[in-house]
Amino acid sequence: MSHKIVNLRVRDVRFPTSLEQHGSDAMHTDPDYSAAYVVLDTDSGLKGFGLTFTLGKGTEIVLCAVKALAGLVIGKSLQEIVSNFRGFYRLLTSDGQMRWLGPEKGVIHLATAAVLNAVWDLWARAEGKPLWKLLVDMVKDQMLKEGYPAYTTSCAWLGYSDQQLKQLCSDALKSGWTRFKVKVGADLEDDIRRCRLIRQMIGPSSTLMIDANQRWDVAEAISWVSRLAEVKPLWIEEPTSPDDILGHAAISKALAPLGIGVATGEQCHNRVMFKQFLQASALQFVQIDSCRLGSVNENLAVLLMAYKFQVPVCPHAGGVGLCELVQHLILFDYICVSADLRNRMCEYVDHLHEHFTSPVVIQDAHYMPPKDPGYSCEMLEESVNRHDALQLSSHHQNEFFFFHFIFLLFPFKYFVLMTGLH
């Protein structure tokens, strides 16, 4: 049902609290707690109720403002509003003539709040949910539908040839990837060539990150990355020793004017280190790792700290099983902590998923929320057996003894070979 809003009523409701000095303070000595009380009527009979709080006489002015906004609301269906709620919010706050009264402050904003509160109330009633549940379910639904944004590292490992790089990159573009990470740090001229190649292929609006895996010292990191600034990387990952907090801070400071942030975390050994990185403004992207920190417990602490410092979390993944595990943590981060996707994405590497019973599902470059019970850690028994290093090494030991037995038949040659004197 679309619930078309057919009428907006607003009432001036006042409670004489000043008579007994309830609510009095140094500035407001005679407050009458009051409300501009809005009721939205719809064609379905469903109503939405909203209010804004005022102190007595001022309510009259808020009422006028609400009436002035009514024309922007009446005639709209709930469906129409919520399918572009941001647009509707802007419609109310950016009216060419009324905007002057604020903008987005004072009486006109109190009126906006009363009207929008009524719309939210209407929506929650239409869904049959208290508002908090509507909000919580909304982010869950969004994740279920769209998934969590991912970036790929699979196109540009350092050892890949340019040809391979091009092929993988064009395949990835076809599959909808828009965020790419390139390995750098071994040879500057190579890096410049490879990064230009990728940037040219992905175009200016896609996102590019670079990762040096701790290769440089601080000064070298700054000069090297400055040379790569032309390809506009969003971040440089692990520019130097993962333990060098002040070094990362210096790099962050030097690269900030170039619009390049510092990302680190895949080798950050515990939450105390993360705390110091955050306190020292030494990173602009927190890369939690599901397996380096003390599991979920310690990762949750880091997520909360990152939120406190308003630093986006972009988990490290790849390896084996890291994508499977960390997707749970980043979904929690979005639904319960950050509620923000700006500059946030989770690494994805296209290897070894086939060994897991619940492998990650990537759709249109997004992690789709896993549905199976558990933490997605279970490997296929067959894979474990096939790759069990102990079994492999006992197999190798047999070969080793056989090899030595053969040489025992030729003692002198054996001596020479074993001592390396040949």
Ligand X SMILES: C[C@H](O)[C@@H](O)[C@@H](O)[C@H](O)C(=O)O
Question: How many of the other CB atoms lie within 10 Å of CB of 314?
Answer: 28
Closest Cα partner for 197 from 228, 223, 222, 176? 228
Binding mask 243-282 for ligand X (x = CB under 6 A): -----------------------x----------------
Q: Does 318 participate in binding ligand X (rule CB under 6 A)?
A: yes
Q: Does 207 participate in binding ligand X (rule CB under 6 A)?
A: no
Phi, psi of 370 (to 5 degrees): -65, 145
CB of residue 230 to ligand X, shortest distance in Å: 22
Which of Mg ion, ligand X, none does residue 241 bind (CB under 5 to 8 Å by kind)?
A: none
User: Nearest 5°: CA angle at 331, between 328 and 335?
Assistant: 140
The encoded tokens of residue 99 equal: 């905007």
The encoded tokens of residue 183 equal: 């390995």
**Size of the residue set binding ligand X (CB under 6 A):** 8
Q: Which of 316, 328, 355, 366 binds ligand X (CB under 6 A)?
A: 316
DSSP type of residue 333? I
Q: Which stretch binds Mg ion (CB under 5 A): 39-47, 88-96, 207-215, 254-262?
A: 207-215
Which of ligand X, Mg ion, none does residue 289 bind (CB under 5 to 8 Å by kind)?
A: none
CB of residue 322 to ligand X, shortest distance in Å: 8
Which of ligand X, Mg ion, none does residue 153 bind (CB under 5 to 8 Å by kind)?
A: ligand X
CA distances from 185 to 160, 260, 268, 387 (A): 14, 16, 19, 32
Binding mask 321-360 for Mg ion (x = CB under 5 A): ----------------------------------------
Closest Cα partner for 108 from 68, 55, 56, 71? 68
Report whether 90 contacts 98 (CB < 8 A).
Answer: no
Q: Cis omega before residue 257 (within 30°)?
A: no
Q: Please give the helix or strand (H or E) that residue 418 lies within, else none.
A: helix 411-419
Indicate which residues carry an active-site annotation.
183, 316
Q: Which stretch binds Mg ion (CB under 5 A): 111-119, 233-241, 273-281, 391-399?
A: 233-241
The encoded tokens of residue 314 equal: 């972009």
Tell me the residue type at 192.
Answer: I
Q: Does 211 participate in binding Mg ion (rule CB under 5 A)?
A: yes
Q: Which stretch binds Mg ion (CB under 5 A): 53-61, 94-102, 211-219, 326-334?
A: 211-219
Which of Mg ion, ligand X, none does residue 299 bind (CB under 5 to 8 Å by kind)?
A: none
Q: Which of 52, 59, 153, 290 binds ligand X (CB under 6 A)?
A: 153
Given the rule CB under 5 A, which residues bind Mg ion?
211, 237
